[in-house]
Amino acid sequence: MQDFVEAAEAAAEAAGQVIRPLFRSALLVEAKGDASPVTEADRKAELAMRDLLRRRFPDHGIWGEEFGPERQEAEYLWVLDPIDGTRAFVTGRPLFGTLIGLLHRGRPVLGVIDQPGIGERWIGLAGERTRFRSPLGGAPGCRPCARLAEAELSCTSPDMFEPKDRPGFERLRAAARRVTWGGDCYGYGLLALGLVDVVAECTMKPWDWAALVPVLEGAGGRVTGWEGETLTLESDGRVLAVGDPALLAEAVDLLRN
């Protein structure tokens, strides 16, 4: 697996070399079909990662947000989001990140959350302790928090919830001590550092969550769907992450009941 970790870190570096010069610069922003912003940085960063991974592992599959799947049926599938949190990126806020996940027969076994603007990186590998590097300090590890009444809840935006999902989230929100908004993948990184306790979100694609699973589980947390089920490439986009596994049953009950 060390070859895979080295490749994932090299891909993160390649993406960062594209992204950093464009951060807080004048960018032409287009609209995707779902109206989310996409920039030159998204596309060029994904192409850089694809090229590197394709050369190192020609028999692996690649599925990226910008350019879709390639050899999706392969035993190993790299899942890429060059800029998770594009809205933060285009407005100059360093709460975005590059996500690099590796699935083995559909199961996430490697994940990298890279924040190229401030130089922070989380590395998760199945069965191993999550690693974290940052010029700001900090150590990986989810904190104990067995009751939602004591939990910090994080979510990217209230606008991401469809009408059928909003009641469940509102029940969870009411049970938590407090909720903070914004962050995209960075919120999950904070959960892995023991600074928040729960994240619940919807409309998540495989490239949004694949890298998060090994990072959070290697920090002691859990990542599931809203029913408490294992996430798969066929999941419905609803993601629940908890730092203390003792929170999972209570959170699932509120989300689905």
3-state secondary structure 105-171: CCEEEEEEEEECCCCEEEEEECCCCCEEECCCCCCCCCCCCCCHHHCEEEECCHHHCCCCCHHHHHH
178 located within any domain: yes
36 located within any domain: yes
Q: 120-164, pLDDT tens digit by residue?
A: 999 999 999 999 999 999 999 999 999 999 999 999 999 999 999
220 located within any domain: yes
Average the pLDDT over 153-181 and give the result.
Answer: 96
**Can you give the residue range of the structural domain that contains 232?**
148-256
Q: How many domains does the chain have?
A: 2
Average the pLDDT over 54-58 and give the result.
Answer: 98
Residue 38 has pLDDT above 80, yes or no: no
Are 129 and 8 contained in the same domain? yes
- Residue 97 DSSP class: E
**pLDDT band at residue 30, thresholds of 50, 70 and 90?**
low
What are 99's two structure tokens? 């996500």
Are 127 and 13 contained in the same domain? yes
What pLDDT is stored for residue 90 in this prediction?
86
Question: Apex CA 75: angle with CA 61 and CA 115, to 5°?
Answer: 50
| Averaged pLDDT of the chain | 94
Are 164 and 100 contained in the same domain? no
What pLDDT is stored for residue 91 in this prediction?
87
142 located within any domain: no
139 located within any domain: no
> In CATH, what number is assigned to the domain containing residue 167?
3.40.190.80
Please answer whether residues 256 and 229 qualify as being in contact, where contact means their C-beta atoms are separated by less than 8 angstroms: no
**pLDDT band at residue 28, thresholds of 50, 70 and 90?**
low
Q: 81-110, pLDDT tens digit by residue?
A: 999 998 899 888 999 999 999 999 999 999
pLDDT > 90 in the chain, percent: 88
Residue 115 has pLDDT above 80, yes or no: yes
- Final residue belonging to a domain, choices 133, 159, 182: 133
Average the pLDDT over 177-186 and give the result.
Answer: 95
Are 153 and 198 contained in the same domain? yes
Residue 217 has pLDDT above 90, yes or no: yes
Residue of higher predicted confidence among 221 and 137: 221
Least-confidence region, from 24-38, 70-84, 152-166, 211-225? 24-38
What pLDDT is stored for residue 37 in this prediction?
66
Are 209 and 186 contained in the same domain? yes
**pLDDT band at residue 53, thresholds of 50, 70 and 90?**
very high
What 3-state class would DSSP assign to 100? strand
What pLDDT is stored for residue 25 in this prediction?
84
